[in-house]
A and B are shown apart, each in its own frame.
Chain A
């Protein structure tokens, strides 16, 4: 069923993908204070890629991704585990949250913490896993 064919779908996908990715990053970063977070953001980003996949087919999507979705899954898991181990460096048990609040000129104080890094890990794992599944299924179709 996935053949590059519909002009409307292709145009829409090309326009929507960057917006969806931007939106997913937005959801990811605001997640700690407002509705959002890694899981939701991962789903949004995956939806963008899946739409693109429907419109342009597998080779184009793989070329767009640049990396194998399986590697993205692995990177996400590694990042999540690494963020959990940050606590050990500070002498705390693993998974203890570590926070830094550096003041950056013009922007103001931002907060960076190991839970945010953990959330990025969740984000990447969700994208990687979903795309692995969808790309596999789509390939099986052909």
Chain B
């Protein structure tokens, strides 16, 4: 299973090398991987249908109890199949969609990495690993939304998506850590068995709120729904894949996964049903209000995510079955519709529904595929979407909390969605023919394969609902409710109340669609003031306030005066360490220290050189006298039998003086000297640091805090380190990791100097 998850990352890493060899056909090659993964996951179907769950555990950081644990039950399997199955069609499709685009390699790297992250997310059995994959999907999504990075709209949308989902991710991390602490384990399959203990724990409410915040931002619930439609700036295959079928499902997946552990309480039911219900209606309303084909679909995705959240909130067995069926149905028709939308955009050169019309003659296959999936979106028989909607209405009617309200919301939503489905499936293809920027033509077979197969599945599952019902719906719903569930899906439930409500919604929706143009105008009149105060405006104001704050704070902290940086650092150090020393230290100071006369002589040399450096009026004199201080230190090292340190000090001092001379030589002599007041202040700062260090040394000499490690180093240097120079053995063996870090710092410093000089060079050359 580890290979299945990592394969996407590995292939992504190989793409830059594969792309030149396969060129335009590369997409077809890459599609083989998700196709193979689909088959691999399909082999688990019989076992999962029989109620088994597969587990695989690989140690990752054993010291931290972090492991790559994978868990495959009905819910994970359903999502894994959707991710790899739809992924195969999207990759295939993208090859033709980005035909001739030089950025194809970059696109596939990001898309495949996303796919692997998503698989990792739904298969993870460890909270921390889940969180890491969760963030990986946010980052790959950011890169994919901003794929067209020269377009300011795309950049803004990408950043917005990242800020919202990663901000929620921070809350989620805190929530997951709390959950792990409360449950005493980070293994999800163990956590879900301790639901009662967790729900009664004192930390339950904060924990729940944090987790829900993470899930709601990721799944674009009100009031965070605004980032999802903006994410439509991404290439259409990405919208089809990330922002309808997979990534945005991560939030509702998490809700479903943790339902046995966290669900069922009043807080859970109230928050999830109400937020979900509000999101559902908002999404449907905004879908009808929009005219860009991708925006209509994006808002209807928001609608679907709201519905799923609401069903997770209701939490009855019927709601769980409805959740799974709705999720599956939505992924099938929404993936297909987005791919159709991409085909329309590709074939006509526009994304605006109002600019299209009468395309059924030029694009008959596209029209047929759009109709099939749109019927499923509208929830009409005999498509699978109908079954999902009926189950939802049925479960809402029996909901323990606010059932009437939720049913009412659902009927209104269904009505609006019928109109939106009409806008997507009827508007472009019927009515009078309109001129489009490009002569309309059918997309290629690779681009039609996805919507065709997904549409067929919608139809097949609708006509024979027993296939998905037996294969995974029962198992997946069972994973949600922690008890075995037997789902009996059927197209015809008899003349029931839900059927009547559906009929009402369809009739109302058809009416609304027939007056779509007038309805839109009315909507825009009514909600214009809301837009100005909506959540997106709030996001903009927040970001503006952040920039403003940064603009005010930065000049204070990053003023560019080295002397103030040093003073700040020194004073902070003196305050923190000095305060601790005074308040906490109870031992004495060393008093009896024998000082030899030659040590005293070197100390005098120190002082004289320092005073000279401060008093001299020549730059070169100051540099040299600071060098003298360095050599005096080297002498001290030598006296205390540390030849390595001494040699290093001498060499570094020499090179420093040379470097300083190199830099300072061209500078004019000192012009302005600091004022006496400034000098007094500098002397005070320096004196404080000197006093502190002296005190610390006296404390250290007087007080042995722990047994020195030097004896171990000395004893083991030859037997373990094969070297008689202990200093060197420490550097290259005992503490090699530290040294590695240090040489990286050295290299970084070099790169820093190099880039700073190279960066300022062109400007200087222009001036001269």
Footprint of B on A, CB under 8 Å?
1, 31-40, 43-44, 46-47, 50, 69-70, 73-74, 76-77, 80-81, 84, 95, 97, 99, 111, 113, 115-116, 118-119, 121-122, 125-126, 128-130, 132-134, 136-141
Contact = CB atoms under 8 A, between A and B. Distances in A.
B660 to A, nearest CB: 10
- The 4 A-B residue pairs with the shortest CB-CB distance in the complex, in nearest-first order: A129-B750, A32-B723, A43-B651, A132-B750
A37 B662 contact: no
B206 interface: no
Given A37-B725, A46-B655, A141-B666, A126 B757 contact: no
Nearest to B646: A35
A111 B744 contact: no
A36 B250 CA distance: 57
Contact of B754 (A40, A118, A133): A133
12 contacts: A31-B725, A32-B723, A33-B723, A38-B732, A39-B648, A70-B750, A80-B740, A84-B736, A118-B732, A122-B732, A122-B743, A133-B753
Given A33-B723, A129-B749, A133-B659, A97 B733 contact: yes
Contacts of B666: 1, 141
Interface residues of B, number: 43
B647 interface: yes
Contact of A36 (B662, B725, B739, B749): B725
Contacts of A136: 753-754, 757-758
Contacts of A116: 732
Contacts of A31: 725, 728
Given A33-B723, A128-B750, A140-B757, 11 more contacts: A32-B729, A35-B644, A36-B644, A36-B728, A37-B725, A39-B648, A40-B651, A95-B736, A115-B721, A125-B747, A133-B659
A137 B662 contact: yes
A39 B753 CA distance: 20
A76 B739 CA distance: 13
A37 B746 contact: no
A115 B753 CA distance: 29
Interface string B653-697: 011001100110110000000000000000000000000000000
Contacts of A115: 721-723, 729, 732-733, 736
A37 B644 CA distance: 8
Contacts of A32: 722-725, 728-729, 732
Nearest to B739: A122
A140 B658 CA distance: 15
Nearest to A83: B736
Contacts of A84: 736-737, 740
A73 B750 contact: yes
Contacts of B743: 76-77, 80, 121-122, 125-126
B703 interface: no
A46 B656 CA distance: 12
A102 to B, nearest CB: 14
B651 A37 contact: no
B159 to A, nearest CB: 33
Contacts of B751: 70, 132
B643 interface: yes
A95 B739 CA distance: 11
B731 interface: yes
Nearest to B644: A35
B761 interface: yes
Given A121-B743, A137-B659, A35 B725 contact: yes
Contacts of B737: 84, 95
Contact of B732 (A43, A46, A119): A119
A84 B736 CA distance: 8
B727 interface: yes
Nearest to B753: A133
Contacts of B648: 39-40, 43
Contact of A43 (B655, B663, B749): B655
A106 B115 CA distance: 61
Contacts of B740: 80-81, 84, 118
B652 interface: yes
A138 B527 CA distance: 65
B647 A73 contact: no
Interface string B703-737: 00000000000000000111111011101110011
B750 A133 contact: yes
Contacts of B658: 50
B662 A130 contact: no
A100 B46 CA distance: 55
A111 B724 contact: no
A74 B647 CA distance: 25
A75 to B, nearest CB: 11
A73 B744 CA distance: 9
Interface string B391-404: 00000000000000
Interface in B474-525: none
B750 to A, nearest CB: 4
Interface string B195-216: 0000000000000000000000
Q: Which of A70, A84, A115 has the most CB of B within 10 A?
A: A115
Contacts of A121: 743
B761 A140 contact: yes
A127 B739 CA distance: 15
B724 A133 contact: no
Interface in B617-666: 643-644, 647-648, 651-652, 654-655, 658-659, 662-663, 665-666
B662 A141 contact: yes
Nearest to A1: B665
Given A1-B666, A121-B743, A37 B728 contact: yes
B746 A126 contact: yes
B647 A40 contact: yes
A125 B732 CA distance: 14
A23 to B, nearest CB: 12
Given A1-B662, A111-B722, A113-B722, A37 B753 contact: no
A1 B664 CA distance: 11
A5 to B, nearest CB: 15
A47 B655 contact: yes
A111 B723 CA distance: 10
A2 to B, nearest CB: 8
A128 B655 contact: no
Nearest to B651: A43
Nearest to B764: A140
